[in-house]
Amino acid sequence: MARVLVVEDEQLLQRTLCATLTLLGFTPYHAATVDEALEVLRTQQIEAITLDVVLPDPQGRKRSGMSLLALLRSRAEYETIPILIFTGMPLSDDESELAKRCNAEVFLKPQPYSVLADHLHRALGSVPAD
């Protein structure tokens, strides 16, 4: 089963997306902040990421899902990992350009989780669970 990191600060969305991904044959991990996401990435071999744009930043470093995207793409080990941006707000022009430059697909909430799962399966070359 492909290991997917769900970076989402809204607990209900995080839980339901993780549960759906489990039912669809993935092994989800979750994080609500950039720091939590980096810790999961440090300790687990993650194969794909779903990424919210607006995340809490308890340290006040002005970090968001987009800054995490840029950081990941700057590291060789994450240059090609599939990243799906899953956000409730339309991206700004700068954010859209960054997503395009970083080869990240953008999905606006609400979006059926099955759509994200289908894109994950295609990006990973895996077969959906029955």
CATH of the domain at 5: 3.40.50.2300
Q: Is residue 71 part of a domain?
A: yes
Taking 60 as the threshold, does the pLDDT of residue 129 lie above it? no
**pTM for the model:** 0.92
Domains in the chain, number: 1
Tell me whether residue 37 is exposed, middle or buried, using C-beta atoms within 10 angstroms of its C-beta: 0 to 12, 13 to 18, 19 or more: buried
The owner of tokens 């194969």 is 47
C-alpha dihedral sign at 74, 88, 25, 12: positive
Tell me whether residue 36 is exposed, middle or buried, using C-beta atoms within 10 angstroms of its C-beta: 0 to 12, 13 to 18, 19 or more: middle
With bands split at pLDDT 50, 70 and 90, how would you rate the model's confidence at 35? Answer: very high
Range of the domain at 27: 1-10+21-54+65-88+103-110
Q: Mean pLDDT, to the nearest integer, of 88-117?
A: 93
Q: Is residue 49 part of a domain?
A: yes
